[in-house]
Amino acid sequence: MSARDYVTLRVGGHLFGLDALVVHDVFYPRNITPVPLAPPEIIGVLNLRGRIVTAVCARARLAMKPRDPAARPAKAVGLELGGDHYGLVVDEVESVVKLDPVDLIPPPDNLPVRWAEIIPGVFRLPEGLLVVLDASKLITGGAGHYGAAA
């Protein structure tokens, strides 16, 4: 099997990776309009080059504490899933790494339930573990979790 590109990002001090094939943009989420009655992980919607994008908080999806308001501005990773556009709001977007899927290690059994449903595995890198996220399950909330319609 050939190597794949992963976009690496940081959320709550953890290093995560998304398959680069699902990432369309990296941008600063600005001018977000809140959506009444939306679950807390949905920050709101924004206009990105003429597209309506739903801004989703990665910290909320991963059951992490909210960002420190004094932290550097958040970034967003633009994803298109099932014809809908999303901006996954993260702490930082770092780089793109090329990794061989045969080196993907199954996730540990002791992961929190929210993480276990959205993590297909991890890679060992010199700087630590890269936790791979399934973008579709992260955005949709896996099996009906995180406020998604059950």
DSSP alpha helix (H) spans, 10-98: 58-61
Domain ranges of the chain: 4-140
Predicted confidence at residue 115, as pLDDT, reads 85
> pTM of the full predicted structure?
0.88
**In this predicted structure, what is the pLDDT of residue 1?**
60
Between 142 and 138, the more confident residue is 138
Question: Residue 131 contacts by C-beta under 8 Å, 6 or more apart in sequence?
Answer: 14, 15, 16, 17, 107, 115, 119, 122
Domain 4-140: CATH superfamily is CheA-289, Domain 4 (2.40.50.180)
Q: How far is 142 from 134, CA to CA, in rounded Å?
A: 9
How remote is the C-alpha of 47 from its chain's centroid?
19
Average pLDDT of every residue of the chain: 89
pLDDT in tens, 27-56: 999 999 999 999 989 999 999 999 999 999
Amino acid identity at 110: N
